[in-house]
Amino acid sequence: MRPPAALLALITCLALASAPLHAAPDAPAGDAVLQLLQDKGLLPSASQIEASPLVQQVRDVASDLVLSAMNFLGVRYRRGGNSAETGFDCSGFTRYVFEHSVGLVLPRRADQQAQQAGLLPVPREELKPGDLVFFNTMRRAFSHVGIYVGDGRFIHAPRTGGEVRIEDMRQSYWARRFNGARRADMPVAPMPTTSENAGGSGTPQ
């Protein structure tokens, strides 16, 4: 399994090589990110493509995790929900995306995810696509969570009656309630250098 750090370095065409996308007429041939964003209604016309900071950010540092999350745009919110079929709540959405894109199983609740061992705190000014972003929306810390996608925006399952969508963290509502961010930083295991240790029987997993 590749760690999130490596996934963030993948170029877009590799990250989307196996994604089930349908080409949009206005999208340049071979640009799967643009096809995805247009399919989801984020880029209605070709004239908006090059001018969009979000497109540039996603194209430059697109990861399997972020693109996986975008595939669920429009899925309805459901309290306690943890699948696309039944709907997602905020932490059910982040848990599902992390588990199915990078194999990292997060705790069920948003506040537990914020305290998960192995997730590193990230300053707001250093956010990268794929980071978890947390908000105080219920008068308690870390009561809401989403996934940063770039250009100051995040994707999340918002509330009852809503659906998975992308919003701007710079809007006053979210800016006032931002609690912090976390990044999964799983180191790559060193490769065996001799046939003697290739079996790895004494290497911690």
Catalytic residue IDs: 90, 144, 156
Assign 3-class secondary structure to the chain.
Answer: CCCHHHHCCCCHHHHCCCCCCCCCCCCCCCCHHHHHHHHCCCCCCHHHCCCCHHHHHHHHHCCHHHHHHHCCCCCEECCCCEECCCEECHHHHHHHHHHHHHCCCCCCCHHHHHCCCCEEECCHHHCCCCCEEEECCCCCCCCEEEEEEECCEEEECCCCCCECEEEECCCHHHHHHEEEEEEECCCCCCCCCCCCCCCCCCCCC
